[in-house]
């Protein structure tokens, strides 16, 4: 009787992690809440995560609940995930993309809802 082959586990390759340099991205952080200092607080979190090319301002309107992230088409999903991680206290959603010729690579509009609610 022939020997039955023993199955062996073939290791699966781990996903390749995309190397990103957060300092490579120009980011505008807008206050979409109307609460003084909201954009600055989010900017501090981003700076702590290495996103150092940031500026703040006010959104054209207030009343945002979620924190919305708009990015140019060439910004990778890995960057969005790193942004979400840096802003873990906020409910972060990705919205429409920015025009490729714009001044900023990423525009974040800070909302009032935190992710613990």
Give the lowest-confidence range in 37-46, 78-87, 92-101, 103-112: 92-101
Q: Say how far apart CA 63 and CA 1 lie, in whole Å.
A: 76
CB atoms within 10 A of CB 44: 14
More confident call, 83 vs 1: 83
Q: What is the set of domains in the chain, with CATH numbers? A: 22-110 (3.30.70.2390)
- pTM of structure: 0.82
The three-class DSSP label of residue 14 is: coil
Backbone angles phi, psi at 66, to 5 degrees: -80, 155
Residue of 60, 72, 65 whose CA lies nearest to 92: 65
Confidence of residue 113 (pLDDT cuts 50, 70, 90): confident
The full DSSP string for 64-89 is --SEEEEEBTTS-HHHHHHHHHHTTT
């Amino acid at each position: 009787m022939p020997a039955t082959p023993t199955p062996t586990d073939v290791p699966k390759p781990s996903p390749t992690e995309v190397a990103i340099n957060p300092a490579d991205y120009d980011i505008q952080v807008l206050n979409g809440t109307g609460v003084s200092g909201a954009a600055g607080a989010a900017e501090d979190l981003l700076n702590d995560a290495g996103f150092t090319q940031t500026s703040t301002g006010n959104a054209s309107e207030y009343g945002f609940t979620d924190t919305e992230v708009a990015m140019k088409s060439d910004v990778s999903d890995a960057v969005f995930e790193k942004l979400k991680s840096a802003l873990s206290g906020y409910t972060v959603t990705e919205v429409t993309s920015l025009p490729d010729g714009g001044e900023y690579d990423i525009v974040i509009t800070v909302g009032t809802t935190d992710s613990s609610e």
